[in-house]
Structure 1
Amino acid sequence: MITAYAHINGKNQSIPLTRIGKSIAWVSLIAPTEEEIKSISEKFSIPLEHIHEALDEDLRSRVEFDGKVSAIYYKAPFKEEGDIITSGFGIFFINNVVLTVCKQKVASIDRLGKRVEEGRHSNLFKKGQVTMICRLIDYINNEYHTYIENLEDNVDLLEETKKLTKKSIAKSFDINRTLTYFHRAFIANLEVLRLLSRGYLPKHRKPEEIAQFEDAYNEVYQLLEMERIQREIVNNIFQLQTTAVSMEMNNVMKLFTVITVIMVVPTIITGSYGMNFQHIPLSDNPYGFLITNAFLILIAVVMFYVFKKNDWV
């Protein structure tokens, strides 16, 4: 799908490609067909391999400049079958046009497009390509921020779960996996913005442009810190829950051990009385049975007292 936006007749609006003139325009290419790829390649003189590379699932974040076309490959978050993952997309500078190429719809970019159609961001097309690109990156960073805030809520729910269950283990794994995706994306995006803020692109080295890239860099760095904190919290919660389960198991085993030890001495004594001898102590005493059982109970009570005093039970 191809959508083009420009500021025409005093307002932002969606336009056909044929109406793109000398003013700054934004062309969004989402899940394109081969025919659409060829038409974009021919109209803006972009090599086909550049566009195909932006649609690659294993796209690596980076900045490229071949003398005519400047390209930024950036990582953005999106949902796939309920899971939150990251995927790369391409941003190309061609004369007065900013071209974004995505293999699938990215919510943050789609949201910016809708707001442009609604007439918001009236200055988006007046301040240059860098302003537009930084606004795109800002929307993507806000999307990351929203996802991390949602993960924080899930972490709070996980923290309230005092016992380690299969459900809590699965939840911890899902959160950690998402944070891992984010961590890799943030590291790659930081490197892209670091290059841009150091004037890697020859045509975009103005102080105000460098300042915008630096602001975007700082935002991503803050996201990286938020991700790191959430990862530590999740790991700490999991370790605490695991420790609690181990302590509970140890207490159960300790109780069984104490009961076993207390029963050993009475078992030995009663076993001795079970031997087939003619003369056994208290065998002729009418109170022998009661005396023996009282003695066994006394031994058990004394042993329990000793264990209790030493805080073993």
Structure 2
Amino acid sequence: MAKRGLLPIPDLINPFKVKKKRLMNFNPVTAASSRKPVEHVRITVFEYDAQTVREEVMDRVEDCFRFSKGDCVKWINVDGVRRQEVEAICREFNIHYLLMEDIMSEGQRAKMDEIGESLFCLLPMMTFRPESASVDQEQVSLLLKGNVVISFQDDPGRDVFNPIRERLRSNGTKLRNSGADYLLYALLDEIVDNYFMVMDGLGERIEVLEDIIPRQPNNRTLARINYLRKEILLFKRGIAPVRELTNGLLKSENNLIEESTRKYFKDVYDHIVQANDLAENYRDMVMNLQELYHAQMSQKLNEVMKVLAVVTTLLAPLTVITGIYGMNFERMPELRNPNGYFIVLGVMLFIFVSMIIIFRKRGWF
């Protein structure tokens, strides 16, 4: 098994075959949604309290309406965002139209809204793909309404909520003994904690490039550096507004968040601050990689120029001698000497060897 820092070139990314991403994206709420329609929508419902837990998976949105009432905590997770289902859920749970448009829009900046008796959070869920060293971003909407938490996400294959599901299925956990506001905290915390998993993957790629640049400072390596820089920039721009989101939850005086739960949101805030600082450090490290690449290229060019200068200097006296004896003068004393050719060759060889010895003693090569 190869060491992480010595991965061969084919095990890394091929930046020339990766589809270019948009680093800047803006889609206001009032714009027509560009979201691609999904073929299938799956709804998973957890209804639980300290003693019991009930889990159901359904395909029809109407089947989850019966969970709008009751004293137990409910988590309704919608995999696949389609306008028909979103409108039906918002109508049943009396969710404001603006929040529905936020759920349907794509590429929005992470934010937190309080409208009526609803607390809404929108933020990116990040995942790292090792095969292409790319960061995938998925928009997740979390809605707290009474004792119900509704989550909307596009792709169930990139879900990071499995640890929460396992805690709900286990008896005696803090999650089972708490309210819906603690469930909202748990979902936010899982998303933010996964940011560090993404940064671990990016950090490994940075370490690999640090080993490759001194050995192979070529155009392909530069393309990999630029590709990694864009991925880190995409990641940093995605998570930066999450800090404002968590800060808004801390400052909120909404009755949906109990006072005993606010300290947990403070923990999420500390994590996202740390994630932003680490992302900034990674950006600086990639900039240092670019500087290292240019330094290696300059050094490589200097070595080539040094060799060419030494060769030119060694050949210069020999060129002078051959130029002198190449002149067409009749009265040159050495021309009639039967050993003149060998004498000139010996002198040229002596000068050449002497210059090499002098250069070596001076440490010029």
Calculate the TM-score normalised by the size of structure 2.
Answer: 0.76
Question: What whole-Å deviation, never above 9, does each CA across 1:108-133 have from its counterpart, x for those lacking one?
Answer: 44424642564478442532232111
RMSD: 2.7
Shift in Å at residue 214 of structure 1? 1.0
Partner of 1:31: 80
Correspondent of 1:219 among 271, 277, 283: 271
Shift in Å at residue 254 of structure 1? 1.2
| Aligned positions, number | 312
Correspondent of 1:11 among 52, 58, 61: 52
1:182 aligns with 2:223: no
Correspondent of 1:62 among 98, 102, 111: 111
Give the fraction of aligned pairs with identical amino acids, expressed as a percent: 21
1:42 aligns with 2:42: no
Question: What whole-Å deviation, never above 9, does each CA across 1:283-303 have from its counterpart, x for those lacking one?
Answer: 222222222222222332333
Distance 1:6 1:54 in 2: 23
1:231 aligns with 2:272: no
- Look up the equivalent residue of 2:300 and give its one-letter code: E
Shift in Å at residue 135 of structure 1? 0.7
Shift in Å at residue 279 of structure 1? 0.8
Q: Please say if residues 51 and 101 of structure 1, whose CA atoms lie closer than 8 Å, have aligned partners that are also in contact.
A: no
Distance 2:191 2:237 in 1: 15
Gaps of 5+ in 1: none
Correspondent of 1:273 among 322, 325, 345: 325
Partner of 1:89: 140
Distance 1:158 1:183 in 2: 20
Question: What whole-Å deviation, never above 9, does each CA across 1:133-173 have from its counterpart, x for those lacking one?
Answer: 11111211232222222223333332332322455334333
Distance 1:152 1:284 in 2: 75
Shift in Å at residue 24 of structure 1? 1.8
Shift in Å at residue 78 of structure 1? 3.4
State how 1:198-209 maps to structure 2 within 5 Å: 199-204=251-256, 206-209=258-261
Distance 1:117 1:217 in 2: 24
Question: What whole-Å deviation, never above 9, does each CA across 1:164-186 have from its counterpart, x for those lacking one?
Answer: 24553343334322221221223
Q: Please say if residues 46 and 75 of structure 2, whose CA atoms lie closer than 8 Å, have aligned partners that are also in contact.
A: yes
Partner of 1:2: 43
Shift in Å at residue 91 of structure 1? 1.4
Gaps of 5+ in 2: 1-41, 57-62
- Look up the equivalent residue of 1:154 and give its one-letter code: R
Correspondent of 2:186 among 135, 143, 156: 135
Shift in Å at residue 201 of structure 1? 4.4
Shift in Å at residue 312 of structure 1? 2.9
